[in-house]
Amino acid sequence: MKALAVLKAVAVVLLGWAALALPGWAQTPAQPVDVLHWLTSASERRAANQLSAILAANGVQWRDAAIPGGGGMAAVKVLKSRVLMGDSPDVAQLIGTTLTEWADVGLVLPLNAVASRQRWAQTLFPTVMDLVSYNGMVIAAPLGIHRINTLLYNRRLFARIGLPPPTTWAEFEVVVRKLTALGIQPLAWSDEPWQIATVFEAVLLSDAGPALYRELIVQRKSSAWMDPRVERALVRLRWLRNINGETPREQAWTDAARELLVGKVAMMVMGDWAKGELMAWGASPSKDFGCVVLPGTENTHLYSIDTLAMLANGHHREATQEKVAELVSSTPAQLAYNRIKGSVPVQRDIDVASLDSCARDSWASFADPRTARVPSLAHRMAADESIKDAVAQTLWRYLTDPRMEPVEAQRRLAAVIRAPTAER
User: What is the rounded CA–CA span in Å between residue 341 and residue 297?
Assistant: 23
What pairs with residue 302 in β-bridges?
Answer: 374
Closest CB to ligand GAL among residues 230, 382? 382
209: left (phi over 0), alpha (psi -120 to 50) or beta: left
44 touching ligand GAL, by CB under 6 A: yes
- Tell which one of 70, 89, 166, 290 touches ligand GAL (CB under 6 A): 70
- 150 lies in the site for ligand GAL, by CB under 6 A: no
C-alpha span between 310 and 223 (Å, rounded):
38
* 192 forms part of the interface with ligand GAL (CB under 6 A): no
Q: Among 17, 20, 31, 72, which residue sits at the site for ligand GAL (rule: CB under 6 A)?
A: 72
CA atoms 75, 33, 101, 44: torsion sign: negative
Q: On the CB side of 144, how many CA atoms lie within 13 Å of its CA?
A: 30
> Is the CB of 70 or the CB of 295 nearer to ligand GAL?
70
Q: Whose Cβ is closer to ligand GAL: residue 306's or residue 356's? A: 306
Least distance in Å: CB of 382 to ligand GAL? 13
Query: Smallest distance from the beta carbon of 72 to ligand GAL, in angstroms?
Result: 5
Per CB under 6 A, the list member of 50, 51, 71, 142 interacting with ligand GAL is 71
For ligand GAL, which is the closer residue by CB, 58 or 362? 362
Based on the shown chain and the rule CB under 6 A, indicate whether residue 146 belongs to the binding site for ligand GAL.
yes
**Binding to ligand GAL in span 266-285, by CB under 6 A:** 273
Give the contact letters, 341-380, x = binds to ligand GAL (CB under 6 A), - = no: --------------------------------------x-
The C-alpha atoms of residue 223 and residue 240 are separated, in whole angstroms, by 26
Span 75-94, contacts to ligand GAL by CB under 6 A: none
Instruction: Report whether 186 contacts 179 (CB < 8 A).
Output: yes
Only one of the segments 2-10, 64-72, 126-134, 387-395 lies at the binding site for ligand GAL (rule: CB under 6 A); that segment is 64-72
**CA–CA dist 406, 90 (Å, integer):** 44
Judge contact between 70 and 192, C-beta under 8 A.
Answer: yes
CB of 379 to ligand GAL, least distance (A): 4
Nearer to ligand GAL, 99 or 157 (CB): 99
Residue 384's SS3 state is coil
For strands 91-93 and 31-37, give the pairing.
parallel
Residues whose CB is less than 8 angstroms from the CB of residue 275 and which lie 6 or more positions away in sequence, other chains included: 150, 152, 285, 289, 291, 342, 356, 358, 359
CA 76 remoteness from chain centre: 15
- We find the least distance from the C-beta atom of residue 275 to ligand GAL, in angstroms, to be 11
Kindly tell me which of 41 and 58 has the beta carbon lying closer to ligand GAL.
41
- Judged by CB under 6 A, the number of residues near ligand GAL is 10
CA distance 303 to 293: 12
Which of 192, 259, 306, 326 is close enough to bind ligand GAL by CB under 6 A? 306
Find the distance separating the first CA and the last CA of the chain, reported in whole Å: 50
The span of 65-73, 180-188, 347-355, 391-399 binding ligand GAL (CB under 6 A) equals 65-73
Cα-based torsion angle of the residue sequence 340, 341, 343, 348 in order, rounded to the nearest 10 degrees:
-60
- Residues in contact with ligand GAL by CB under 6 A are 38, 44, 70-72, 146, 273, 304, 306, 379
